[in-house]
Amino acid sequence: MALSAREAYDANSWPFALGVQMPRMDYRCHTVIVTGASSGIGASFARSLAARGSNLILVARRVDRLEALSDELEKAHGITATAITLDLTSPTAGPDLRAAVAAAGVRATSLINNAGFGTFGDFIGEDPARLAQEIAVDVSAPVQLSSAFLPDIIAAGGFLINVASMAAYAPSPRMAVYGGAKAFVLSFTESLWAELRGAGVTAFVLSPGATSTEFNAVVGTDDATAGARMRTPDDVVATALAHLESRNPGPSVIDGATNRVAASLMRLMGRRSTVKVMHRMTDPARRSGSKVPANR
């Protein structure tokens, strides 16, 4: 009689008890969708996975960058990198991407929902249309794409990585929608991790802190990262892949020791104190050296 996925996992886990090192993940068996692949963390994911032998489906809006990256990776690593341009603000982003992948004649076995952007400023002054786009890309798209591709990921024993942010761990004054969106991604993905246990799938959420990408340029100000010391996209991806390859990956991983300590401290401080600290940290007047009244 065939073993269930849970029984197969338990049956195959015995060598660890004897100190036997199991083989690392064979990335060559996977075709990975990477959204937001044209720059930053997404491009670093693409390069790291291609170097490990994965085929790729690169998704973003900037076709010139996608095609250049696709050509680079195919020539350097002998893999197949399919470039698909897609607007993730679409209310049908999930089925649209699934149809595009099928039309390209490829089959996805894993998914990295990396695309996202933020806005900065008091909520009352923000453009409602821009906020709707932010919610679509940061919240709706990961849900839609996860729903569209999880059956294939489960069938292939692949992985799902959703990219959140340190903003998920604390209220984010002046970035209220972005922080709320990333808190959703954190909770959503940790819930999926529990639901998918025993299904032969690795699912987790990755939370970077300040990273040297185009994030601040899109937001329009360096105040969005409050002068924090930057990690590199390669640092973030190394954290994610180390977690992916670990024996029993948990539901979430934070990139960088400093960020992990900060998340722990925020839990201890309580919500009132944390939001007041975050409000001061992201105050443009504070960063410019101007005097501002203390928050009460």
- Span 117-145, pLDDT tens digits: 989 889 999 999 999 999 999 999 999 99
Q: What is the pLDDT of the chain when averaged over all its residues?
A: 85
**Burial grade of 102 (CB within 10 A; 0-12, 13-18, 19 or more):** exposed
Cα–Cα distance, 296 to 241 (Å, whole number): 42
- Span 193-246, pLDDT tens digits: 999 999 999 999 999 988 866 554 555 555 545 556 788 999 999 999 999 999
Is the pLDDT at 114 greater than 50? The verdict is yes
Is the pLDDT at 265 greater than 90? The verdict is no
Answer whether 54's CB lies under 8 Å from 37's CB. no
DSSP helix/strand/coil, 259: helix
Packing angle of the helix pair 233-244, 40-51 (nearest 10 deg): 50
- Span 66-103, pLDDT tens digits: 999 999 999 999 999 999 999 999 999 999 999 999 99
Q: Which region among 37-46, 69-78, 151-160, 287-296 has the lowest average model confidence (pLDDT)?
A: 287-296
Handedness of CA 147, 152, 157, 158 (dihedral sign): negative
Whole-prediction pTM value? 0.83
* pLDDT bracket for residue 263 (50, 70, 90): confident
Cα–Cα distance, 111 to 84 (Å, whole number): 14
Cα–Cα distance, 241 to 216 (Å, whole number): 25
Residue 35: closest CA among 67, 61, 63, 74: 61
Is the pLDDT at 292 greater than 90? The verdict is no
Can you spell out the DSSP letters for 44-62?
HHHHHHHHTT-EEEEEES-
- Cα atoms in the Cβ-side hemisphere of radius 13 Å centred on 141: 32
Report which of residues 139 and 287 the model is more confident about: 139
Please give the pLDDT value at position 11. 36
* pLDDT bracket for residue 110 (50, 70, 90): very high
